[in-house]
Amino acid sequence: MRTPSKQKNIGFIATRFAGTDGVSLEAAKWAEVLQEAGHRCFWFAGELDKPDAISELVPEAHFQTDRNQDIMQAVFGHKARPPAITDAIHELRHFLRGRLHDFIRRFSLDMLIVQNALTIPMQIPLGLALSEVIAETLIPTIAHHHDFYWERVRFSLNAVGDYLRMAFPPRLNNIEHVVINSTAQEELAHRKGLSSIIIPNVLDFAHPPNSHVVCNSTLRDSIGLGCDDIMILQPTRVVQRKGIEHAIELVKELHDPRCKLVISHAAGDEGFEYVEWLKEDAHKMNVDLRFLEAPGASPALPDHDVFRHLSLWDVYPHADFITYPSLYEGFGNAFLEAIYFKKPLLINRYAIFVKDIEPQGFDLVVMDGYLTSRNVAAVRDVLDSPERRRQMVTHNYQVAARHYSYGILRERLSSLMVNIFGMEP
């Protein structure tokens, strides 16, 4: 039975809600804002870090199962789809459809928020099942889109065009579409004829970070940094589109042996070829390159093993400078996080930054596809001048607070809730 009055039971659905990937992080922020407004949030995914009492764990919904990987390998990079794969897709679709109906009934859900599962075809049977359930129940749904399939070259040749047209995303009147940048909004309208609103990634700029931080000396000692060393932090996964070679080049050009490049995530997240190339590149350039695994989202706790509960947010406070030379981003969480922790940064002018973020007027060291001597001089000036650094980070925090705060999220979720229920959230 659906809940009356303003309080709503809201079901979040994705392939995964766990760890520090962008989808999981943004979903948690949405849930926080909705719960502050009095709503109850529940979770459905193939991997979860939520309490059992408010969640439905369905391992078959994950994108990394052997079954789903077999489907992915058979349908992408090929034009023809074997009948056995069609049967496998529909068998899993039917199973997931039943589990989704169970989820809606179990928690008496009034609304669904689908996080990227109707956007990028990492789990085709789940997307198909969701489209059918949303059509069958007419349950109000927000589809939060982070990465469309047409933005990824690896999905361009495929044998599932019929499924992509049907479910990624579907054209249903009871779905409100949300994108994270203006290019995605334009492409969704052009390709699917669907209107959407933009809700950028946000952070709680009204409340500066106050996480439990591992003491500076312990963390720095654990990765072999001395008191005088300068920690240049690359706060990303080791993937080629992050442009980490530019960070290596920056440290080389600074010509300062105190500068150490620390990459926040362990190697191997998407294979080892790129990381091995980075190691060779750093060795040739005589750059001190270190990897610091920061897997968890929870704050660090006192422990003899500094890495045991380490999160990326425990690392940011100890960085002297942030590098973010990405070639492509859907938005750029690490950019916002650097601003939130009041750290100066170098950023590459990837397309979404140029169109949506740069016009806001941030004070940054900006490269345009390649590192220049002017970029290096600007970084050196920031490192050498506490006053320049203070002015930069203070200004950037104020700009981000105006454009990328929880207030923006509350305002736009409020608009969506009015559209759906005729009520404020």
Instruction: Please give the structure tokens belonging to residue 212.
Output: 């439990």
Separation between Cα atoms, residue 136 and residue 187, nearest integer Å: 27
What are the CB-based long-range contacts (under 8 Å, 24+) for 55-64? 56/99, 56/102, 56/103, 56/106, 56/107, 58/96, 58/99, 60/92, 60/95, 60/96, 60/99, 61/15, 61/96, 61/99, 61/123, 61/126, 62/15, 62/16, 62/123, 63/15, 63/16, 63/122, 63/123
DSSP-derived secondary structure letter, 183: H
Same domain, 166 and 107: yes
Could you give phi then psi for residue 260, rounded to 5 degrees? -120, 130
Same domain, 198 and 243: no
What is the mean pLDDT of the segment spanning 242-271? Answer: 88
Domain range enclosing 144: 9-202+406-421
Q: Are 23 and 116 in contact (CB under 8 A)?
A: yes
Could you give phi then psi for residue 423, rounded to 5 degrees? -150, 155
Same domain, 190 and 223: no
Separation between Cα atoms, residue 179 and residue 166, nearest integer Å: 19
Element spanning 13, H or E: strand 9-13
Separation between Cα atoms, residue 272 and residue 8, nearest integer Å: 45
Same domain, 36 and 166: yes
Same domain, 245 and 191: no
pLDDT band at 306 (very low <50, low <70, confident <90, very high): very low
Asked, for residue 209, whether it belongs to a domain, the answer is no
Quickly list H helices, 175-243. 182-192, 216-222
Same domain, 46 and 195: yes
- pLDDT per position as a tens digit, 186-233: 999 999 999 999 999 999 999 988 754 445 557 777 788 888 999 999
Same domain, 330 and 410: no
Position with higher pLDDT, 82 vs 293 = 82
Same domain, 188 and 264: no
Element spanning 98, H or E: helix 83-106
Q: What is the pTM of this model?
A: 0.87
Same domain, 74 and 108: yes
Asked, for residue 210, whether it belongs to a domain, the answer is no
pLDDT band at 309 (very low <50, low <70, confident <90, very high): low
